[in-house]
Structure 1
Amino acid sequence: MSERVAVRKTYKLFVGGKFPRSESGRSYLVQSGGSVTANVAFASRKDARDAVVAARAATTGWAGATAYNRGQILYRAAEMLEGRREQFVALGIPGDEVDAATDRWVWYAGWSDKLPQVYGGANPVAGPYFNLSAPEPTGVVAVVAPAAPALLGLVSVIAPAIVSGNTVVVAASPTEPLAAVTLAEVLATADLPAGVVNILTGHIEQTVPTLAGHMDVNAIDLTGVADAELATNLEAKAAENLKRVIRPIATDHDWYADPGLARMTALLETKTVWHPKGG
C-alpha cells in the first residue's frame, strides 16, 4: 500500500464574519514546526477594500453596544482560545504564549466598562453648567500585526482597538500567518459581530498601502512594520485624511509586560458636552 498523503489545509481570509477566498485566487505555502503544512490566501488590494467596507458596516452596531456586552464578547474569545490551546501549540506556538494571549483577552475585557470612567469625567468650570468629557471610538482601524510573538502580539494589537468600540482590518504577518487565521476561527465562534475584526493574509506591501491611503479608514497601527522606509511612506499616505497613527515599535518590545492603557487611549476621540444647571 502506498503511504497516505495528508490533506493540506487551505486557509482563507476572514472578512465580514465569513471566510472568503482571495479575489486574486492566489495562495502561498507556510511552514509550521519546520515543514510545509498549509496554503494561505494572498490578499489583494480589492480584498483590503472589501475588508474596510465590512469594518465600516459593523461600526454603528459595535460602537453602540454596551461596554458590558463588549467585555462579555472579549471574555468569550478568551474562553474559546483556551479551549483550542492544543491546536495553537500544534502550530508551533509555545503553550505559555497561548496562555498569555488568553489572559490578555481577559485583561482587556475587564477594561471595557472602566475605560470611560478613567479616560472621561466631569471638568471643572466657572459657570452655571456641567462640562462632561467622554471617550468615543475613532472608527475603522487598520492594524499591521507583529511577526513575533505571533499570537500574543496579534491579540495585543486587536483587543485594545476593539474593546472601546472600534472595528479593525488586520494585515497579518506574512511569515507567521497561521496564528492569525486560526485566531479568526476562534473569533468566528466567540459571538463577535461580523465585520468587527477582519483579517488579511499575504504580503503587507500589497495591502497596507491601500489601507493607509483609504479615505474610510480612521486610524492605522504600524506596529508590525519592520521596514523604516515603508513605515514613512505609510505615514505619508495616512496623512491624506489625518488618520491617527501608531508608529512601529522596537523589535525587542516585551509583549508579556503589562500593556497599560496607551493602545486603548490612542484610538479614542474625546467628546465634550456642556449642559446648563438649573438654579
Structure 2
Amino acid sequence: MSEKSEKSVPTEPRLSVFKTYKLYVGGKFPRSESGRVYEVSDSKGNWLANAPLSSRKDARDAVVAARKAFGAWSGATAYNRGQILYRIAEMLEGRREQFVREVAESEGLSKAKAAAQVDAAIDRWVWYAGWTDKIAQVVGGANPVAGPFFNLSSPEPTGVVAVLAPQESSFLGLVSVIAPVIATGNTAVVIASENAPLPALSLGEVLATSDLPGGVVNVLSGRTAEIAAPLAAHQDVNAIDLTGADEALAKELEIAAADNLKRVLRPQPVDYVATPGIERLTAFLETKTVWHPTGSLGASGSSY
C-alpha cells in the first residue's frame, strides 16, 4: 500500500474495553453464583468498575476449595512454599504499573504514593518467603523433661483461615494479612476491602499464574458483614482474622466463631509500612509435642 493510500485510511474511534473483575475460588475465576455485582468508585465518586457481590454460597464454595487444598499445601516443604511466595513477588513486579494505577484510583493516592505502597507489598511477599523455612526454628524446640525421653515441640498450620482484609489499605494491608497465613501452611478465604476490592481481585490473577496451587488463597468481594457471617459460623473454618471488621461486627463474629473454638485474631491498629514482626506468622499455628525415648527404639518403639 502506498504512502498516500495509507494516509487516506479513516481512523475510527475505538470502544473502551473495560476490565471484567471476577472472584478467585479454587484456582478459577467464577462470577458470583447469584450474578450480583456492585459499583466500585474512586475517592471522588467516579465509577471504576463493577465487582462481584459474593453470596453465602460463594463463601461456602471458597471454604470447600480451601479445605481441599490444605492437605497438599500444608504437606509441602517450607522451602517449596518460600519459592512460591517469591514467585508471587516476581509476577507482581511484572504487573507493577497495573497495581499502581488500581491502588491510586482505589485509595485516592498520588501515583508516587501508590507506587510506594505497591513496592512495599512486593517486598512483603519476599520478606515472608524468607520466613517459611525459619519460623519452625524460632518457635519450635526441645523441652527439658524428667525421664529418658526427648520432648520436642514443632509448629503446624491451623487449617482453613478466614481473613477479613483491611478496609483502608486495599493492597499493602491485603498482602500483609494473606502472606503470613499461607507462608506457614494454612489456606485462606479472603474477603477483600468492601469499597476498594479491585487490587485484591487483580491479585487473584497473579496468584493463578505464580505456581500457587488452586484453593490455597480464595478471594471474595462484596459486603464484608454479609460474607463474614457464614465464614465465622462455618464448622470447617479453623480460624478467623478480624482485621477488616469494625468493633460491632468483630464482636458478633467472635461470638459465632466460638461455636467450634476457632482461633480469632482481633482487630488492632497496624502500621503496614513498618517491617512486620512474626506475630502474624505465629497467630495461626498449633504446637505439636512429640515424645521420643532416648537410646534404641527397638521393635516396638514409638515417637508419639
TM class by shorter chain equals over 0.9
Q: Distance in 2 between matches of 1:176 and 1:71?
A: 28
Q: Kindly indicate whether the alpha-carbon contact (under 8 Å) linking 2:70 and 2:160 is maintained by their aligned counterparts in 1.
A: yes
Equivalent in 83, 89, 92 of residue 72 of structure 1? 83
The percent of aligned pairs where both chains have the same amino acid is: 66
Q: Distance in 2 between matches of 1:111 and 1:237?
A: 32
- Pairwise CA RMSD: 1.4
Equivalent in 11, 14, 26 of residue 16 of structure 1? 26
Q: Find the counterpart in structure 2 of residue 242 from structure 1.
A: 261
Q: Distance in 1 between matches of 2:295 and 2:16?
A: 74
For 1:85-100, what aligned pairs fall within 5 Å after superposition? 85-93=96-104, 94-100=114-120
Q: Distance in 1 between matches of 2:266 and 2:97?
A: 33
Q: Distance in 2 between matches of 1:2 and 1:194?
A: 42
In the alignment, structure 2 segments of 5+ residues that lack a partner are 1-10, 105-113, 297-304
SS in 1 for 2:155: strand
CA shift in 2, pair 1:131/1:92, >3 Å: closer
Q: Find the counterpart in structure 1 of residue 291 from structure 2.
A: 274
Q: Kindly indicate whether the alpha-carbon contact (under 8 Å) linking 1:32 and 1:92 is maintained by their aligned counterparts in 2.
A: no
Q: Find the counterpart in structure 2 of residue 115 from structure 1.
A: 135
Shift of 1:148: 2.2
In the alignment, structure 1 segments of 5+ residues that lack a partner are none
- Deviations 1:173-210, CA, capped at 9 Å, x for gaps: 11010110011111111100000000000001111000
Q: Find the counterpart in structure 1 of residue 210 from structure 2.
A: 190
Q: Distance in 2 between matches of 1:85 and 1:12?
A: 20
Give the counterpart letter for 1:71 in structure 2. Answer: G
Q: Kindly indicate whether the alpha-carbon contact (under 8 Å) linking 1:8 and 1:39 is maintained by their aligned counterparts in 2.
A: no
- Deviations 1:140-192, CA, capped at 9 Å, x for gaps: 00000002221100000000000010000001111010110011111111100
Q: Kindly indicate whether the alpha-carbon contact (under 8 Å) linking 2:242 and 2:250 is maintained by their aligned counterparts in 1.
A: yes
What TM-score comes out, normalization by structure 1 length? Answer: 0.96
Q: Distance in 1 between matches of 2:20 and 2:36?
A: 11
Moved over 6 A (4+): none
Shift of 1:4: 4.6
Q: Find the counterpart in structure 1 of residue 171 from structure 2.
A: 151
Shift of 1:2: 8.6
What TM-score comes out, normalization by structure 2 length? Answer: 0.88
Asked if 1:37 corresponds to 2:41, the answer is: no
Q: Kindly indicate whether the alpha-carbon contact (under 8 Å) linking 2:103 and 2:170 is maintained by their aligned counterparts in 1.
A: no
Q: Kindly indicate whether the alpha-carbon contact (under 8 Å) linking 1:68 and 1:113 is maintained by their aligned counterparts in 2.
A: yes
